Structure 1
Amino acid sequence: MTYQIRPVNADEWSQVKELRLAALADPAAPVAFLDTLEWAAERPDSHWQERTKDASLGGSTRQFIAEDAEGRWAGTVVVLVERAGEDDFFGNPVHTPQAQLVNVFVRPEHRGGGLTERLFRAGMEWAWSLEEPLVGRVRLFVHKNNPRAAGFYRKFGFIPTGHVIDSDHEMEIARA
């Protein structure tokens, strides 16, 4: 199947919401994402509109989607830019500009054909292309009970940093 990998547009908030809810309904969600279907479903439309607008601009966030030939969204990845001197998503100080990959998801019927790799590569290429801030590393967190995801990330050169969060369940892995 042919897919176009592209950033979201600000007016596509309802598709962003639907894809996120689908990701959180996936059986792997408890070890793949930090938020829950219940939490996301309760968010007002204004939350999704603002989130999508920010992700479409590519300032501190960029969301990529995979769209099939019929316009259906098959998967996504989000890149968060973390600037030195600011706090990261978890409230920890950022010392070196970095990017964090989050919300990696491909619908089950689109898995197994390399789409996750293409989305992941698009997110990484965008992060490394930033000139301001110049990203010194790309990181993400993987649940200790998600060896499939950890193996996928190792293929891209990500290694454990030793930093853990969420009662030692989420391990930081990074690539410089």
Structure 2
Amino acid sequence: MEHVIRPVCAEEWAKVRELRLAALQDPLSSIAFLETYESALEQPDSFWQQRTSTGAAGRDVIQFVAEAPDGRWDGTVTVLVERVGAEPRVGKAAIVEQTHVVGVFVRPEARGAGLADELFRAALEWSWALDAPAVERVRLIVHSENRRAEAFYRRIGFVLSSDPTPVPENEMEREYEILRPRAPLND
């Protein structure tokens, strides 16, 4: 693979913005992301600077990108730390120490080259390396109609955790929590 998978740097906020806007134009963005292209487009530079700075710090949040040899970013994934007793970032409060994967995106022209696998490898390695206390599982939320994403997550070892729950904005739609428990060290 020619891409480098790495965390973002704080000064790369304009590239974070460009990739997020591209993700929000994907045909499945309405069931994959919690924001719209229009709302993201309206955000000031200071929003993107803060978002990127937080993702670059790598403490409670980290954002990884897949960077092509020419510098183009072709994919991204963000990992949020969710500690027991802390206010939930998304959905229900954590019942075990966990991370939550969000913002998963690979540009259509880069799909099928293994970038999503490599981005998730970085996300999982980072999650499993956390301690004090150690993360017991990695989770994400997938819309019941996002079959492409669900198939990928299942292929890399995630399993559905429960019955579907209603999507807050549309009680007729459903989403699932999907989990990957900590695996033995030979993972």
- Report the TM-score when normalising by structure 2: 0.89
Q: Does 1:171 align with 2:179?
A: no
Q: Which residue of 2 aligns with 1:22?
A: 22
Cα distance in 2 between the residues matched to 1:133 and 1:44: 36
Q: CA deviation at 1:165?
A: 4.7
Q: Which residue of 2 aligns with 1:125?
A: 125
* Percentage of matched positions with identical amino acids: 51
Q: Which moved more, 1:114-123 or 1:57-66?
A: 114-123
Aligned residue pairs total 176
Cα distance in 1 between the residues matched to 2:91 and 2:106: 28
Q: CA deviation at 1:95?
A: 2.6
4+ aligned runs moved over 3 Å, structure 1: none
Gaps of at least 5 residues in structure 2 are 182-187
Q: Which moved more, 1:15-24 or 1:148-157?
A: 148-157
Q: Which residue of 2 aligns with 1:8?
A: 8
Q: Which residue of 1 aligns with 2:96?
A: 96
Q: Trace 1:58-97 onto structure 2 (pairs within 5 A).
A: 58-90=58-90, 92-97=92-97
Partner of 2:24, secondary structure, is helix
Q: CA deviation at 1:91?
A: 5.8
Partner of 2:71, secondary structure, is coil
Q: CA deviation at 1:92?
A: 3.1
Gaps of at least 5 residues in structure 1 are none
Q: Does the 8 A contact of 1:74 with 1:106 survive in 2?
A: yes
- Report the TM-score when normalising by structure 1: 0.94
Q: Which moved more, 1:96-105 or 1:84-93?
A: 84-93
User: How has the CA–CA distance of structure 1 residues 102 and 91 changed in structure 2, closer, same or farther, with 3 Å as cutoff?
Assistant: closer
Cα distance in 2 between the residues matched to 1:21 and 1:149: 19
